[in-house]
Chains A and B, each alone.
Chain A
């Protein structure tokens, strides 16, 4: 069955460094991959969408890569700030022609001042 894996361990980094989060998937080939941010007690907020024919996409301090051979996406936050501390969710389309979206469990990021 389709599976998405994100590092369940929290990532702790120092302010100003680059945070890199990983999303791996197995058993299917999604057409789209998205990253969301979720703060405690709130709904996820869309950050970036990348399509299968795109290798990389950037938005301000954010960069996403999508390697369909490795079945992996990397999410980078450069010049990280304490305000970037949150849980980051990877999401893929169901890959079957339907409209289901499959979310990973998320990776919690802590940026220390």
Chain B
């Protein structure tokens, strides 16, 4: 049973380019979270998605950032016109569905974005 997969593991972009980060949840999981982590800082919640539906995007910057989780395929975190301040590790996590809405999360290895 494969865990959460993220790719690429490392991504280098120049200022102004677009970054696309992909996340495939664990088998049987239909809920995905995205987090950003800066060096020596904690994980910052960005967005919570179910298949074809954004549930909570209260942590997403209003501009340049978007996320989707289509019916087929991985979840995508998209950053347009990247700036140096976007350099960070981006982690995806998945959890099982349920009415309680809060279960342990299984994290991927992260994508380290460097903006030059």
> In this assembly, does B104 line the interface, its C-beta being within 8 Å of a C-beta of chain A?
yes
Partner among A42, A49, A104, A106 whose Cβ is within 8 Å of the Cβ of B104: A49
How many residues on B have C-beta within 8 angstroms of the other chain's C-beta atoms?
Answer: 26
Partner among B58, B104, B108 whose Cβ is within 8 Å of the Cβ of A34: B104
| B residues near A43, Cβ cutoff 8 Å | 4, 91, 93, 107-110
> In this assembly, does B85 line the interface, its C-beta being within 8 Å of a C-beta of chain A?
no
Q: Are A99 and B104 in contact (CB under 8 A)?
A: no
Main SS of chain A's interface residues? Answer: strand
| B residues near A44, Cβ cutoff 8 Å | 43, 91, 93, 105, 107
> In this assembly, does A101 line the interface, its C-beta being within 8 Å of a C-beta of chain B?
yes
Q: Are B58 and A106 in contact (CB under 8 A)?
A: no
Q: Are A100 and B59 in contact (CB under 8 A)?
A: yes
CA distance A100 to B41 in the complex (A): 18
Closest Cβ neighbor of B103 among chain A residues? A49
Q: Contacts A31-B102, A44-B43, A89-B42 hold; do A99 and B109 have CB atoms under 8 A apart?
A: no
Most chain B Cβ neighbours within 10 Å, of A89, A100, A103: A100
> In this assembly, does A74 line the interface, its C-beta being within 8 Å of a C-beta of chain B?
no
Least Cβ distance of B45 to chain A in Å?
A: 5
Q: Are B33 and A101 in contact (CB under 8 A)?
A: yes
Q: Are B55 and A99 in contact (CB under 8 A)?
A: yes
Q: Contacts A34-B104, A44-B107, A45-B107 hold; do A99 and B91 have CB atoms under 8 A apart?
A: no
B-facing residues in A70-113 (Cβ within 8 Å): 89, 91, 93, 98-106
> In this assembly, does A46 line the interface, its C-beta being within 8 Å of a C-beta of chain B?
yes
What sequence of 0s and 1s flags, for each residue 84-98 of chain B, a beta carbon within 8 Å of any chain A beta carbon?
A: 000000010100000
B-facing residues in A11-37 (Cβ within 8 Å): 31-32, 34, 36
Further pairs besides A44-B43, A99-B101, A101-B102: 15, Cβ < 8 Å: A4-B42, A32-B102, A43-B91, A43-B107, A43-B110, A46-B104, A49-B103, A91-B43, A99-B48, A99-B55, A100-B48, A100-B56, A100-B59, A101-B33, A101-B45
